[in-house]
Amino acid sequence: MAFELPKLPYAYDALEPHIDARTMEIHHTKHHAGYTNNLNNAIAGTDLDGKSIEDILTNLDMNNMAVRNNGGGFYNHTLYWEVMKPEDKGYLSGELKDAIIAEFGSVDAFKDAFAKAAATRFGSGWAWLCVHKGGKVDICSTPNQDNPLMPGVGCGGTPILGIDVWEHAYYLHYQNRRPDYINAFFNVINWNEVEKRYAESK
């Protein structure tokens, strides 16, 4: 049973002006499609074939670079599309907002910490907001396509929000200005989806 490239829950231009349509289309149809195909090739005929992506990542042999890179790439981008949305729909509220304030002191302090984790990831990678059993949240970042579900990587929680800071995620529009892309990302976070993931994983 092969993994399939998920459809975006919105049009390629839906996140403009924060993330441009051309970047979204290439990112989805080339990068994410590539990870998906390469993951399927890497697991075909192995005992990983037929397992869920969460199961594969949680129990990953970190020396299996084909599955590490492409399984991470498949999962990370699927989450990334789902935790974004067109501007002005939904806002941070409820239990997740309480958990964020308990951990960081304020929503602004959380945004600063998340932006810093994303901006200071050297080279390619991701920054994450994760939840641990019991509901505590924290922030970490991972290199390449690694993910906090993988053994020994990141903070070991379940990621509920992630930002891709590979140059392919922003370079066409922002060139080298990664901090501008990170600031823009806060305008397109689908907090309803992040809160749903928090409730499911805490």
**How far are the Cα atoms of 35, 121, 156, 164 from residue 32, in angstroms, in the given order?**
5, 21, 24, 12
Footprint on this chain of Mn ion (rule: CB under 5 A): 31, 164, 166
CA atoms within 13 A on the CB side of 82: 17
Closest distance to Mn ion from the beta carbon of 136 (Å): 28
In angstroms, the CA 21 to CA 36 distance is 21
Closest CA to 132 of 160, 107, 104, 151: 160
Closest distance to Mn ion from the beta carbon of 164 (Å): 4
Closest distance to Mn ion from the beta carbon of 31 (Å): 5
Pick between residue 164 and residue 195 the one whose CB is nearest to Mn ion: 164
User: Which tokens in the block code for residue 59?
Assistant: 């129990």
Provide CB contacts within 8 A for 76, sequence distance 6+: 126, 145, 147, 162, 164
Which residue number places its CB atom closest to Mn ion? 164
Pick between residue 19 and residue 130 the one whose CB is nearest to Mn ion: 19
Pick between residue 125 and residue 157 the one whose CB is nearest to Mn ion: 125
Pick between residue 7 and residue 133 the one whose CB is nearest to Mn ion: 7
Closest distance to Mn ion from the beta carbon of 188 (Å): 15
